[in-house]
A and B are shown apart, each in its own frame.
Chain A
Amino acid sequence: MLTGCVAPAPSASSVERPLAEGQAAAVTPLRWGGDAEGGAPFVEADPSDPASLRGFDVEIVDIVARGLGRSPQFTQVAWASIEQSVARGDFDLGVSGLEDRPELRARFAVSLPYFEFREVLAVRVADRDRYRTLADLAGKRVATLGSTMAYRLLLEAQTQRGVVPVSYDDDVHPYSDLVDGRVDAVLLDHVIAERALERLRRVTGRTADPFVIQPTVVARGAYVAVFAAERAALRDSVDAVLSARLRDGTLAAIFKRWGVWDDQQATYQQRLLARLDSGAASAPSSAGDASGARPVTATTIAAYLPALLRAAAITLGLSVAAMVLAVLVGGAIAAGRVYGSAVTRAMLGAYVEVVRGTPVLLQLFVLYYGLSAVVRLPAMLAAIIGLGLNYAAYESEIYRSALQAIPRMQLEAARTLGLSEWQVFRLVRGPQAFRLALAPMTNDFVALLKDSSLVSVITVVELTKQTAIYATNVGSWFVPGVLCAIIYLAMSLPLSRVARRLEARWHV
């Protein structure tokens, strides 16, 4: 977790941060949460001093804290969890390019919408004239960040136009996958799109642009700071500071410094000021705090359940396929480690240790993104292979110890009966080892069912990811979490039962 140390951007006028010990202790810090993984220009670790932060959201929090006479204190939170963390009281406000939307206003106090973003399409240069709007992308894969306004737009476009939404956990890989041809377009905020374009220009170092941003604006939205509903008073103080800084041009200066200022933003600020003057204060983009209320009711459950069940089918199919692969590869590894030559044993042993000793998340990243220059696997296939090869290491250890647990005399007895080595394995050792391995295998399958939620990092929307999307939409984890848990249990409990029954029947 990154905390404390909020440093100015290199180009910013050097303002001393009130972090001197005596001073900081005298006032209550303004605790704020954001996601530094989201990166520039919102919140990012300063490349020249990774322990400190920079970005336009960082500077906005700075001026707000200054206006309140407090010092900012940062907490790192995953972007999709910022709102839930605010609700828990982990910090006073969340600021990290958070999108204003009715569901948010229904459950939280939100600041004035300090920045207007535009949802824009990015496409490969060759597709510049083919894919201008979402309407041109029927049947095509369009990437975005999960749980965002852009994702909701894509879901609508899916039902209306047959666009295929692809959800990512970060805003970097949608663009690299666009360039690699894994998706046909990316729909995201213009700030993110422009930053991605710059980054890829830097990385590729070529004069030709890696992709183009279409000029048509698909939708508009605004960023807000988020407070717990009961902190409306703090929100009002923050809004007072923000509107003062809006009037005196400080906000515009910050946006200019970070290269996100343009004519459209200037127009937006004028409109925002006009609304503030007319007293419509904090909610120019929605009718009011209560209007967007969407309580979790039977109707929303009914609305989300089909999506959850489809995601559950993906989880189950993915897990079964990965387990089949794990059992086959694991069996081969175990046989190699028990019967193979010294070299074979050493190589297989190394495989098992490397796979067990590194996080499966890392393995999935390497398989999907790291190897994309060599082999470009579809996400679902990469997920099955990644999980399957990972679990194969664990399965192989189960089978190996099960094979070695069969008493030597059993094997000798089989040999004295004239069975070949292969027959001894197939008829005597294997079946007995399989019975021993059954209980731990069942355990592993249940674990795999749950670990399959990790594959959302490579864009597969399975049950947990779908639940997170649902939870973000309704603004609560309670009902989606309970539904999700029930579905997982409905998949894992019968399996454990079957295994117990088989074990009982085989009396081992």
Chain B
Amino acid sequence: MSEATMILHIDALRLTRRQRGETREVLRGISLALPAGRICALMGVSGAGKSTVLRSVVALEPFDGGTIRVDGVSLSAGPVPKESALRQFRRKVGMVFQQHALFPHLTVHENVTLAPVHATGAVPQQASRMADALLESLGVMHRRDAYPSQISGGEAQRVAIARALALDPPLLLMDEPTAALDPARRGALAETLRALAMAGRALLITTHDVDFAKAVADEVAVMAAGEIVELGAAHDVLERPQHAATRALLSHERV
């Protein structure tokens, strides 16, 4: 696949942390490319570095080497730039946090319109209509005027997705979307995410849920100790694991 069609391009991403005088390499040269319309599952045991990759891609975590490019806008190594310098970048990436991080003092509808109205200066009525459309498509329109404390975990996740999509970013990141979800709802979530990909978005999702990865991902990248140890089409990697870390992940899942 040519680079031009790639929505996300991570090249040789390195990150070192200093803790109590010790330096620890958290990411040791991660490279990953993701085209529009595809879903990539970033897998691995806890501590492998999955969430750190997401945090770097959404410009919350500074990194020490390599580049990240999203839809033509680049982030380079060094401290996280000021928000004023990230204006353009922020419109390219939406992020759904593991605990959703909805704003408790705002209604569902206000959570979704916050970014369009305040970050991009959209006309309130227009932002409101767009938010309603998003809430409708995600099946939470009936919770429009509720506060986050009044809705269920599954509903909160859908609202968080709507909020992340409010600026219509080409790339959506999700951190452990199945963690707080009962098994019955995972199928519905997979369907929702497939629909988002079908509409042309690229999705990068961290998970250690193999069944969910099988159901939703086109590609799988397996991480271990800060490196991608196996990368390929989801069915290849998950059916015929080559690396010990992948096999461990799969066996762990079956237990």
Query: Which parts of A377-433 form the interface with B (CB within 8 Å)?
Result: 407, 409-410, 412-421, 423, 427-428, 431-432
The interface residues of chain A lying within 8 Å CB-to-CB of B119 are 417-420, 423
The interface residues of chain B lying within 8 Å CB-to-CB of A418 are 83, 86-87, 90-91, 115, 119-120, 167
Residue of A nearest to B115 (CB): A417
Asked whether, in the complex, the Cβ of B101 is within 8 Å of the Cβ of A410, the reply is yes
Task: Decide: A415 near B83, CB < 8 A? Known: A427-B118, A507-B147, A507-B149.
Answer: yes
Q: Is residue A339 within 8 Å, beta carbon to beta carbon, of the partner chain?
A: no
What separation, in Å, do the CA atoms of A410 and B90 have in the docked complex? 16
Residue of A nearest to B101 (CB): A413
The interface residues of chain A lying within 8 Å CB-to-CB of B82 are 421
- The A/B interface has a contact count, at CB < 8 Å, of 68
Q: Is residue B93 within 8 Å, beta carbon to beta carbon, of the partner chain?
A: yes
What separation, in Å, do the CA atoms of A507 and B146 have in the docked complex? 12
What separation, in Å, do the CA atoms of A508 and B58 have in the docked complex? 29
The interface residues of chain A lying within 8 Å CB-to-CB of B94 are 416
Asked whether, in the complex, the Cβ of A416 is within 8 Å of the Cβ of B147, the reply is no
Chain B contact-residue range equals 20 to 34
Task: Decide: A427 near B84, CB < 8 A? Known: A417-B119, A418-B167, A432-B105.
Answer: no
Asked whether, in the complex, the Cβ of B115 is within 8 Å of the Cβ of A428, the reply is no
The interface residues of chain A lying within 8 Å CB-to-CB of B147 are 507
Q: Is residue B212 within 8 Å, beta carbon to beta carbon, of the partner chain?
A: no
The interface residues of chain B lying within 8 Å CB-to-CB of A506 are 105
Q: Is residue B60 within 8 Å, beta carbon to beta carbon, of the partner chain?
A: yes
What separation, in Å, do the CA atoms of A106 and B178 have in the docked complex? 84
Contact of A423 among B93, B101, B118 (CB under 8 A): B118
Produce 1/0 per residue, A426-448, CB < 8 A to B.
01100110010000000000000
What separation, in Å, do the CA atoms of A428 and B163 have in the docked complex? 14
How far in angstroms is the closest Cβ of chain B from A408?
Answer: 10
Q: Is residue B95 within 8 Å, beta carbon to beta carbon, of the partner chain?
A: yes
Query: Which parts of B66-110 form the interface with A (CB within 8 Å)?
Result: 82-84, 86-87, 90-91, 93-95, 97, 99, 101-105
The A interface is mostly helix, strand or loop, or mixed, namely: helix
How far in angstroms is the closest Cβ of chain B from A425?
Answer: 11
Q: Is residue B13 within 8 Å, beta carbon to beta carbon, of the partner chain?
A: no
Q: Is residue B114 within 8 Å, beta carbon to beta carbon, of the partner chain?
A: yes
What separation, in Å, do the CA atoms of A251 and B131 have in the docked complex? 94
Asked whether, in the complex, the Cβ of A409 is within 8 Å of the Cβ of B101, the reply is yes
Asked whether, in the complex, the Cβ of A409 is within 8 Å of the Cβ of B97, the reply is yes
Asked whether, in the complex, the Cβ of B84 is within 8 Å of the Cβ of A420, the reply is yes
Residue of B nearest to A413 (CB): B101
What separation, in Å, do the CA atoms of A210 and B90 have in the docked complex? 72
The interface residues of chain B lying within 8 Å CB-to-CB of A410 are 101, 103
Query: Which parts of B133-191 form the interface with A (CB within 8 Å)?
Result: 147, 149, 163-164, 166-167
Task: Decide: A416 near B105, CB < 8 A? Known: A421-B83, A423-B119.
Answer: no
Asked whether, in the complex, the Cβ of A420 is within 8 Å of the Cβ of B83, the reply is yes
The interface residues of chain A lying within 8 Å CB-to-CB of B103 are 410, 413-414, 428, 432
Asked whether, in the complex, the Cβ of A416 is within 8 Å of the Cβ of B60, the reply is yes
The interface residues of chain B lying within 8 Å CB-to-CB of A508 are 104-105
Asked whether, in the complex, the Cβ of B83 is within 8 Å of the Cβ of A416, the reply is no
Residue of A nearest to B166 (CB): A417
What separation, in Å, do the CA atoms of A410 and B111 have in the docked complex? 12
Write the residues of chain A forming the contact surface with B, with a CB cutoff of 8 angstroms: 407, 409-410, 412-421, 423, 427-428, 431-432, 435, 506-508
Write the residues of chain B forming the contact surface with A, with a CB cutoff of 8 angstroms: 58-60, 82-84, 86-87, 90-91, 93-95, 97, 99, 101-105, 114-115, 118-120, 147, 149, 163-164, 166-167
Pairs across A and B, CB under 8 Å, 10 listed: A416-B93, A416-B94, A417-B114, A418-B86, A418-B87, A418-B119, A419-B119, A427-B114, A431-B105, A507-B149
* Known contacts A418-B83, A419-B114, then 20 further A-B pairs from the complex at CB < 8 Å, ordered by chain A residue: A409-B101, A412-B97, A412-B101, A413-B101, A413-B103, A414-B103, A416-B60, A416-B94, A416-B95, A416-B164, A417-B114, A418-B86, A418-B115, A419-B83, A419-B118, A419-B119, A420-B84, A421-B82, A427-B118, A508-B105
